[in-house]
Amino acid sequence: MANSLLTCAILLCFLTLTLEVRDGSGMVKPASRACIIGAGYAGLGTARYMKDYGVNFTVFEATRYVGGTWRFDPHVGTDEDGLPSFTSMYKHLRVNTPRQTMEYTGFQFPNGTHAYPTGECFYKYIKLFAKEFDLNKYIQFRRLVTSVKWVDDHWALTYTKTDTKTNHTEQCDFVAVASGGEFTAPVWPKFEGQETFKGNIIHSHDYKDPEDYRNKRVLIVGAGPSGLDLAIHLSNITAKLVHSHHLRYHEPFFSDTYMKKPDIKMFTSNGVIFQDGSFEDVDNVIFCTGYGFTYPFLDKGVGVEASGKFVLPLYQHTVNIRHPTMAFVGVAKQIFMCVREAQADYVAALAASRFQLPSQETMMKAWMRALDLKGRRLLDVNTIGTEMDTYFADISKEAGIYRRPPVLANIREFNARNGLTDLINFRDFDFQLIDDYNFKRWYNPKKGNSCPIDI
């Protein structure tokens, strides 16, 4: 309770200082020119709905490709244009949620696609989506957005053309931020003695291929989705695989070379000492320590506080309350991809003025009330989690958009439990949606990774 009250006190101070209610209405007029930042899953979904709703829009994409983090890029650190790598994809990745929870509405994977497709297959699906909905013609590639600021009565969006290195500014009256989400900026921990370690340290963001670690002594740090997945990938490749984490789950047998260790105490020149006092010599360290948000292009005056750990205050996890003509797609955490797809629909409907928001004061009160009633920490302000179906119901009712069915949330809850109960085998099950509330699941291990998608 004390933490909740402290959080609310901090937020109240922040909001008192920064919220300038303009006309108090929260009204968003139909956009004469909308700008979407990013052509990944969220950006393409937003583009699809803006096209459906008759909005004039342009998508600004920093790279030469659609797909965002789902496109595998062999480059490490920077891409072929010298930009920071925006993708965290690696070879042999398979998604950890059933494909039905990742599909764009009305655009299913072909029959025969594996229930948990590979990252490569999902990228093909995204490219096919862009092709089928004729979205590429709306995308300006190699446009790195460097600044978004409110100037008089519009948004000034400045970007760098990565081929000519020239800067350009365009005017938008609605901005959808669909980049910089949960899987972009790696979080690097710091430990005593880390600078003395003579081996190689990377973040999972730069991990590409298990073959790079064949017969090596490797330490994985962290047991989130990436940490657990890399443990599976590397357990039969490495000479020794040390896994440092504090997750309590039904740990499977990985291999004879695998060993679980507690949190790190300190590094030495040739290894790591753990909190229990034990030592292991290792050649390579992979930090699977998560990601933060990153929006370096947002001007301080846009009306949101965007740090690596949170973005606030956002109404319905999307709308910039101070400037409702700016919205975010993909900020929400602990969700399935279908939430981003629903947010894209909601934001596009807002840009088209298909519905009207409450007053700014009402939006702010709703945001504060939700935060306080749930006793959330500041770090959890963008979390939807188990409230996914309630969220679908709320935004569909408000915006008049398609109501994503409760069965998706039911699968989320099942998958969250089963993934940690049967880590090695949970992807060997098929799913079928029976109706809006029910699904069936059966064991169906398949050789290879079927992906009947041809671009």
Residue 282 resides in a domain:
yes
Rg over CA atoms, the chain? 22
- Asked whether residue 279 falls in the same domain as residue 376, the answer is no
Does pLDDT of 103 surpass 80? yes
Per-residue pLDDT tens over the stretch 122-175: 999 999 999 999 999 999 999 999 999 999 999 999 999 999 999 999 999 999
What's the whole-model pTM score? 0.94
- Give the amino acid at 442: W
Among candidate residues 377, 392, 409, the one where a domain is terminated: 409
Does pLDDT of 113 surpass 60? yes
Residue 243 resides in a domain:
yes
Does pLDDT of 22 surpass 50? no
Phi-psi region of 193 (alpha: psi -120 to 50; beta: other; left: phi over 0): left
Average pLDDT of span 365-380:
78
* CA–CA gap between residue 298 and residue 136 (Å, rounded): 25
Residue 142 resides in a domain:
yes
- Give residue 406's pLDDT: 97
Residue 206 resides in a domain:
yes
**% of the chain beyond a pLDDT of 70:** 93
**Domain interval for residue 241:** 188-287
Average pLDDT of span 407-427:
91
Number of domains composing the chain: 2
* CA–CA gap between residue 116 and residue 450 (Å, rounded): 10
- Asked whether residue 273 falls in the same domain as residue 398, the answer is no
Does pLDDT of 10 surpass 50? no
Residue 23 resides in a domain:
no
Residue 204 resides in a domain:
yes
Residue 207 resides in a domain:
yes
**CB 245, CB 222: distance < 8 Å:** yes
- Asked whether residue 220 falls in the same domain as residue 177, the answer is no
Q: How confident is the model at residue 379 (pLDDT cuts 50, 70, 90)?
A: confident
Report which secondary-structure segment, H or E, holds 287: strand 284-287
Per-residue pLDDT tens over the stretch 304-345: 998 888 999 999 999 999 999 999 999 998 888 999 999 999
- Asked whether residue 228 falls in the same domain as residue 169, the answer is no
CA atoms within 13 A on the CB side of 206: 17
* CA–CA gap between residue 70 and residue 66 (Å, rounded): 9
- Asked whether residue 93 falls in the same domain as residue 228, the answer is no
- Asked whether residue 104 falls in the same domain as residue 68, the answer is yes
